Chain A
Amino acid sequence: MRRSDRWVVALWLGVLIASALIISRTTFNTGISAFLPDSPLPEQRLLVEQLKNGMVSRLLLLAIENASPSELSTTSKVLAARLRSDPAFVLVQNGDSSGVAPDRALMWRFRYLLSDRVKAEAFTATGLRLALQKDIQLLSSPVGFLLEPLLANDPTGEMLHLTTVLQREGSGGPHHLDGVWFSRDEKRALMVVQTRSPGFDFDAQKHNLAKIQSAFQASSASTGSRQIQLIESGPAVFAVHMRDRIQGNVWRLSLVATILVGSLLMAVYHSVRLLILALLPVLSGAIVGIAAVSLSFGMVDAVTVGFGASLLGEAVDYAIYLFSQTLPGQSPATTLLRIWPTLRLGVLTSVCGFSALLLSDFPGLSQIGLFSITGLFVAVGVTRWVLPLLMTEHFDPLHHKRLFLTLSGFASQSARLRGPLAILMLLTIFVLATHRGPWWNGHLSSLSPISEGDRRLDQALRTELGAPSVNRLIALRERDLQQVLVDSEQAGSKLEGLREKAVLAGFESPARIMPSRKTQIARRDALPPPEQLRANMRAALAGLPFRLHFFDPFLLETESTRTGKLLGRRNFHDTTLGLRLDSLLFRDADHWTALIPLREVAAPAELKDAVARWNIPGLILLNIKHQSDQLYRSYFHTILRLSIIGLLAIVLLLAFSLRSPVRVLKVLAPLAGAVMVTLAILLNTGRLLTIFNLIGLLLVVAVGSNYALFFEGLSEKGEVREKTVFSLVIANIGTTIGFGTLSFSSIPVLHDIGTTVAIGALLSLGMSAILMARPASFETSSS
């Protein structure tokens, strides 16, 4: 080894050690939120934030099924009792009365501050008399005896009013059976659990889910039913399952890809030493790649590591080219000098492709881009400068002579397939031109790794629980909590007007659950002082059949409200109202956000016009579905633009290197063909294409260009030609294995890119052979 060579090896080892050190301090993020892009608009950011961290993320939906209704309700009651005794769960609701007792207590205590009907005129003699007359009317109805126990304290019926107003609007709550919540078909007992730990705290949530499972096992044992089952849903469940899946996926994929590529190399080279040497560039690339991501992002997504499987498939090509194209008696350095220009160009085109990922808005995709680019550069560098130093043993091609000839023969004969290829291309154009319906999935959910089945189950449970997802909402932002509540009240009174005009069916508001101090004080001031109220009551009672002192408790309680404290956030401890308040009113950094979900908007245009005229600062009207689809469209356009730029960069690079329009066209023709056929195949699998498929298509060009370039340069005859064809086939199999393993992943980003590139890479090689192999050389090589 020469002195300069030693320096090369030292540098390589130094970089590897430094990278390993960086990796040892790296946090690996197993969440999926990195694949929800950073969003440019405030309303979209709000949406993404809510998706990631909202209070809603602490909710678990549970369903117990597969047993008789009485077994289900018993299990539900026992399970709820067990969970309630565990401090990890803030709130456990299964419909039984113990779940709502704290809510009723809160509403009862603060009824005169909570009720929007509390106004001075309601407590005059006339106002009270009107209320008492209504009481008499209701007493004679079948619901009368429900009101009767409350009457002495609450003759104006504020409690009943509040239960109606604060009850989940519309549906009147979930279906009841045996005192607990059930689905309407009475096949599932339902429960809602709020965890203390946030939804994105995966470890805590995993622990919570395990606790629920063991509590369920213990609870269901008493019923003796064996089939009884617990279903869990909700953001935290998705997140935990997702993490397990990502971790499982990442390790399995990398392992499978390594074993497959390793077997391929062993089958070809029959040498452990060569196998290790071939894997050196890839491993170096992966290690430095991860370190680079860690340095520039501060953490590494597990999914990025999963993408390593594809890097393995692609970067192993470089070693294969080197080993397979080395002629007997020649040194690897000589081979490198010969193939270096093509290799270099191939790497650069691949890098152009991955640059589109690097520049995208998705932090996750940028990571994959940076990881791949670094990995490829390092892998090719190690192949170019380090491998030749370590290769003392020459690759002996002897026992593959026959295979070489066959492959080379195929390559030459492949020109005969130009006819069938033309037919295939016509067919493809026909398929693409006549394809009905959209090509692309236009919904944000297509990026979500939550399976369609899970999503549908979640939606079904939510609907049964009377909490259907809302489509439109108003968001208000202010620095001050009281100001945001005042704004909410202002918006609420305007919305009330719109509701009367049937523009919308209803709305929820945090200010209904916790009115602003200003409103609470106004209501408190509306209550008359005790002597005044007593006189009013006496006047109101004249001629009515009530006993004279029956309403004394009412007089006492109004007075205690009048002189008592206002309702604050601390009072909501342990209540479902508090839970709803937290989902509608939350704080980020230095702002408070209030959400007002709108129900069944019948006249969206009218609503939009009205909202625009309100002139409440910091108000945004959000159409969630529309926003998220628009969000998706903007990502799509960004990726499309970047893909086109990446493609142009590849073409420019080729033009600059090949210096001939004809040669550039020759290289691009098979790639264009491969992209079109891949597209046709993907469309016919019945799934709509996603952003990730689009990226995959760009990578088909970036990766496939390597094969086209080698074929394009394939003018020599004899052994070099045979070896080149051989190396291309092996390299192609390696790439297909690498990306192909990704296609077995259940994570959309890995699955979609993997499938697309695996199909496209195979097609690129085939088409390059068919379009560029020269029949003439076949005669010379076989002579």
Chain B
Amino acid sequence: MKALAQVKSDNPRFVQRQYLHELTQPLVSSGVLVYRAPDYLEQKTEFPSFQRAVIQGDHLTLYSSAWKGPRTLSLQSSPGIRAVVESLRATLSGQLPVLQRSFNIKINGSSKHWSLEFRPLARALKKEVRLILLRGSDRRIDRIEIHYSQGNYSITLLSRNRP
């Protein structure tokens, strides 16, 4: 997994499909994900409408046309988002052991094609996020699967134009 830590920045395109129980069909959105070591993450949605979520340090700021101005929230005050962000950050920086206190982590596959399972340990958190599943090949994450409560889940596929 250490190999991932050598990647200092990444900006794959993403396609996200959300399966929510209130919806009659999955919600599809796409755009670009940006990662810069050590802790900068950004989700830039271009379809169906423009929206940016910037995660840096302890804060998530959302720029959305649904709201007047940007809104910031502390990750500490929203454990669900924090769990997702932490699992991504730890994977990207190769520091999984740090998370072993708060997640049950399973590694499967080979270094060529690997998958990581994060299951939160805290009971309160389990109610928000049941499972985070990351799949990748070599040094890259290819697929992010997040299972929320009430059978809701989302699958995000990442793709890169190989040079």
- Report the separation of the CA atoms of residues A149 and B152 in the bound assembly, to the nearest whole angstrom: 11
- Bound-complex Cα distance A146 to B27 (A): 16
Cβ proximity bits B50-86 to A, threshold 8 Å, 1 near / 0 not: 0101010010101011100001111011111100100
Give bound CA distance, A138 to B67, whole Å.
Answer: 9
Would you call the interface of chain A mostly helix, strand, loop, or mixed?
Answer: mixed
Name which of A85-93, A517-525, A543-551, A593-601 contacts chain B: A543-551
Q: Is the CB of B73 within 8 A of A143?
A: yes
Measured CB to CB, the closest approach of chain A to B106, in angstroms, equals 23
Map CB proximity to B onto A122-145 as digits: 1 under 8 Å, 0 otherwise: 000000000000111111111111
- Asked if A140 meets B80 with Cβ closer than 8 Å, knowing A145-B148, A145-B152, A148-B152, the reply is no
Give Cα A148–Cα B24 distance, bound, in whole angstroms. 15
> Which residues of A, 131-184, contact B by the 8 Å Cβ criterion?
134-146, 148-149, 151-152, 164, 172-173, 175-177, 179
B23 at the interface (CB under 8 A from A): yes
Give CA–CA (A142, B148) in the complex, Å. Answer: 12
Evaluate contact between B53 and A550: CB separation under 8 angstroms.
Answer: no
Is B29 an interface position by the 8 A CB rule? yes
Q: Does A137 lie within 8 Å of B51, measured CB to CB?
A: yes
**Which B residue's beta carbon lies closest to that of A130?**
B66
Q: How far is the CA of A152 from the CA of B21 in the complex (A)?
A: 11
Report the Cα distance A134→B27, complex, angstroms. Answer: 13
Task: Compute how far the CA of A30 lies from the CA of B133 in the bound complex, rounded to whole angstroms.
Answer: 65
B20 at interface by CB-CB < 8 Å: yes
Which A73-119 residues have C-beta < 8 A from chain B?
none
Known: A137-B51, A176-B74. A142 touches B64 (CB 8 A): no
Total count of chain B residues near the partner, CB < 8 A: 38
State in angstroms the CA–CA spacing of A172 and B61 once bound together: 12
Cβ contact within 8 Å between A140 and B74: no
B18 adjacent to A144 (CB under 8 Å): yes
Task: Specify which of A142, A145, A173 is in contact with B60 (CB 8 Å cutoff).
Answer: A142
B22 pairs with A141, CB closer than 8 A = no
Let me know if A179 and B18 touch, CB within 8 A: no
Task: Decide: B66 and A177 in contact? CB cutoff 8 A.
Answer: no
Cβ of B49 within 8 Å of any chain A Cβ, yes or no, is yes
Contact check, A152 vs B22: say whether CB atoms are below 8 A apart. yes
The interface residues of chain B lying within 8 Å CB-to-CB of A142 are 43, 53, 55, 60, 62, 81, 84
- Chain B residues lying within 8 Å of A145, measured Cβ to Cβ, are 80-81, 128, 148, 152
Task: List, in ascending order, chain A residues with CB within 8 A of B29's CB.
Answer: 140
Instruction: Verify A547–B73 contact, CB threshold 8 A.
Output: no
Q: CB distance B66 to A547 under 8 Å? A: no
Contact B22 A546 (CB under 8 A): yes
Residues of B within 8 Å of A140, CB to CB, are 16, 18, 27, 29, 45, 51
A164: nearest chain-B partner, CB-CB: B71
Q: Do the beta carbons of B27 and A176 come within 8 Å of each other?
A: no
| Docked-complex contact A175 and B76, CB < 8 angstroms | yes
Partner of A137 from the list B16, B64, B72, B73 (CB cut-off 8 Å) is: B64
Residue numbers in B under 8 Å from A144 (CB-CB) = 18
Asked if B25 is an interface residue, CB under 8 A from chain A, the answer is yes
Q: Write the nearest CB–CB distance from B29 to chain A, whole angstroms.
A: 4
Given A145-B152, A546-B23, is A179 in contact with B76 using a C-beta cutoff of 8 Å?
Answer: yes
User: Is there contact, CB below 8 Å, between A547 and B22?
Assistant: yes
Task: Give Cα A428 to B83, complex, Å.
Answer: 70
Q: How far is the CA of A177 from the CA of B49 in the complex (A)?
A: 34
Bound together, the chains give a CA A686 to CA B123 distance in angstroms of: 59
A175 to B80: give the CA distance in the assembly, Å: 17
Closest to B80 in A: A145
Inter-chain contacts of A176 with B (CB < 8 A): 58, 74, 76-77
* Minimum distance in angstroms from A103 CB to a CB of chain B: 14
CA distance A179 to B124 in the complex (A): 12
**Within the assembled complex, what's the spacing in Å between the Cα atoms of A547 and B65?**
24
Contact B58 A134 (CB under 8 A): no
For residues 110 through 163 of chain B, which have their beta carbon under 8 Å from a beta carbon of chain A?
128, 148-150, 152
Q: Which of A141, A152, A177, A547 has the most CB of B within 10 A?
A: A141
Q: Are A146 and B45 in contact (CB under 8 A)?
A: no
Encode A534-569 as 1/0 by CB contact (under 8 A) with B: 000000000001110010000000000000000000
A140–B29 alpha-carbon span in the complex (Å)? 7
**Inter-chain contacts of B128 with A (CB < 8 A):** 145
Nearest chain B CB to A500 CB, angstrom units: 11
What is the distance, in angstroms, from A528's C-beta to the closest C-beta of chain B? 22
Asked if residues B65 and A137 are in contact (CB atoms below 8 Å), the reply is yes
A69 CB to nearest chain B CB (Å): 12
Tell me the bound Cα distance from A546 to B21 in angstroms. Answer: 9
The answer on a CB contact under 8 Å between A148 and B20 is yes
Q: Which of B25, B55, B65, B78 contacts A545 (CB 8 A)?
A: B25
Please tell me if the beta carbons of A143 and B152 are within 8 angstroms of each other in the complex.
Answer: no
CB contact between A175 and one of B20, B53, B74 (< 8 Å): that residue: B74
For residue B18, which residues in chain A have a CB less than 8 angstroms away from its CB? 139-140, 144
Q: Are B45 and A143 in contact (CB under 8 A)?
A: no
Give Cα A372–Cα B60 distance, bound, in whole angstroms.
65
Min CB distance, B61 to chain A, in Å? Answer: 10
What is the minimal beta-carbon distance from B15 to any residue of chain A, in angstroms?
A: 11
User: Which residues in window 628-670 of A have CB below 8 A to B?
Assistant: none
Residues on the A chain within 8 Å of B81, using CB: 142-143, 145-146
Residues of chain A contacted by B148 (CB below 8 angstroms): 145, 148
CB <8 Å contact, B22 and A172: no
When C-beta atoms are compared, the residue in chain B nearest to A178 turns out to be B76
Residue of B nearest to A138 (CB): B66
Collect the chain B residues with CB atoms within 8 Å of residue A179's CB.
Answer: 76, 79
Nearest CB of chain A from residue B96's CB, rounded to whole Å: 20
A141 and B48 CA atoms in complex are apart in Å by 12
**B24 touching A141 by the CB < 8 A rule?**
no
Q: What residues on A are CB-neighbors of B76 within 8 Å?
A: 175-177, 179
Chain B residues contacting A173 (CB-CB under 8 Å) are 74, 77
Q: Using Cβ atoms and an 8 Å threshold, which residues of chain A touch B58? A: 175-176
Known interface pairs A143-B60, A546-B24; 5 further A-B residue pairs with C-beta atoms within 8 A, sorted by A's residue number: A140-B16, A140-B18, A141-B64, A142-B62, A179-B76
List 9 A-B pairs, minimum CB-CB distance, nearest first.
A176-B76, A134-B66, A140-B29, A550-B22, A545-B23, A142-B53, A137-B66, A545-B25, A545-B24
What would be 23 A-B contacts, judged by CB atoms less than 8 Å apart?
A138-B64, A140-B18, A140-B27, A140-B45, A141-B43, A141-B45, A141-B64, A142-B60, A143-B53, A143-B78, A145-B80, A145-B81, A145-B128, A145-B148, A146-B80, A149-B150, A172-B72, A175-B58, A177-B76, A179-B79, A545-B23, A545-B25, A547-B24
